[in-house]
């Protein structure tokens, strides 16, 4: 379920919040800026589109900054306003695209999805070998993942939920998926799986 919370990428990954931006810092800003540049390049933005996108982003950042300064509103009001601002910005960005660019965006999303599925298939095959999974366990894991992804999509597309509510439900869904895994794996497999995770973590620390 490592890939569970991978978002369905919208134009320029516009779902990042101001608080998340602060936590990410300069490194996060660099990655987002690089992603924005790559997306504009892939969609072959004209110079005019780039200028308009920059203006939309600057206007959004200013509004977000002003909103964060308001101390006389409730948390819910602030959250709702942020959600409305994000929705407005996405609508403006969508409005910049030509019909060809919109078709290209659909294609890019399909390609990313295919890559994610390919990556999952490889991880599942590796897991099968490392943990000696049976074919029945593999089938159950695939079915469980499909069900979880369907639930995740339903949460993401539910516009009656606030961003915070969506986050809470996604976290609950992740926990639910983890519990489902415990029912599929044997105790020995779970123990071995945790050992693999720990070893990967130790190797990552050593590289750093």
- DSSP character for 12? G
Token reading at 51? 């200028």
Nearest to 82 by CA among 98, 68, 97: 68
Provide the pLDDT for residue 5. Answer: 39
Q: Would you say 99 and 35 are in contact if contact means Cβ atoms under 8 Å apart?
A: no
How is 90-148 classified by DSSP, letter by letter? HHHHHHH--HHHHHHHHHHHHHHHHHHHHHHHHHHHHHHHHHT--HHHHHHHHHHHHHH
Query: What is the C-alpha separation between 132 and 136, in angstroms, rounded?
Result: 12
Token reading at 13? 């990954």
pLDDT above 90 covers a percentage of the chain that reads: 53
Token reading at 125? 């095959």
Token reading at 32? 């987002």
How is 38-92 classified by DSSP, letter by letter? HHHHHTT--HHHHHHHHHHHHHHHHHHHHHHH--SS-HHHHHHHHHHHHHHHHHH
Provide the pLDDT for residue 40. Answer: 80
Provide the pLDDT for residue 162. Answer: 78
Token reading at 170? 């996604």
Token reading at 175? 């926990």
Least confident of 122-136, 146-160, 187-201: 187-201
Q: Would you say 135 and 193 are in contact if contact means Cβ atoms under 8 Å apart?
A: no
CA distances from 175 to 5, 7, 164 (A): 12, 17, 17
How do the domains of the chain map onto residue ranges? 11-207
Task: State how far Cα 89 lies from the chain centre.
Answer: 18
Provide the pLDDT for residue 20. Answer: 41
Provide the pLDDT for residue 15. Answer: 38
- Angle at the Cα of 88 (from 28 to 51), degrees rounded to 5? 65
pLDDT tens-digit map of 139-180: 999 999 999 999 999 998 887 887 788 899 999 999 999 999
Mean pLDDT (whole number) for 69-94 = 88
């Amino acid at each position: 379920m490592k890939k569970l919370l991978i978002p369905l990428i919208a134009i320029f990954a516009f779902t990042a919040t101001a608080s998340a931006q602060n936590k990410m810092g300069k490194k996060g800003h660099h990655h987002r800026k690089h992603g924005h540049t790559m997306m504009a390049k892939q969609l072959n933005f004209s110079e005019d589109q780039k200028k308009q996108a920059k203006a939309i982003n600057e206007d959004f950042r200013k509004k977000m900054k002003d909103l964060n300064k308001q101390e006389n509103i409730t948390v819910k009001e602030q959250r709702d306003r942020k959600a409305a601002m994000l929705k407005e910005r996405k609508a403006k960005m969508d409005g910049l695209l030509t019909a060809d660019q919109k078709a290209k965006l659909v294609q890019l999303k399909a390609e990313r999805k295919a890559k994610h599925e390919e990556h999952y298939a490889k991880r599942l095959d590796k897991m099968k070998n490392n943990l000696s999974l049976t074919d029945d366990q593999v089938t159950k894991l695939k079915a469980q993942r499909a069900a979880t992804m369907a639930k995740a999509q339903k949460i993401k597309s539910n516009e009656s939920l606030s961003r915070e509510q969506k986050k809470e439900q996604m976290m609950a869904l992740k926990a639910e998926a983890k519990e489902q895994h415990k029912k599929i794996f044997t105790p020995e497999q779970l123990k071995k799986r945790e050992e693999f995770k720990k070893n990967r973590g130790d190797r990552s620390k050593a590289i750093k």
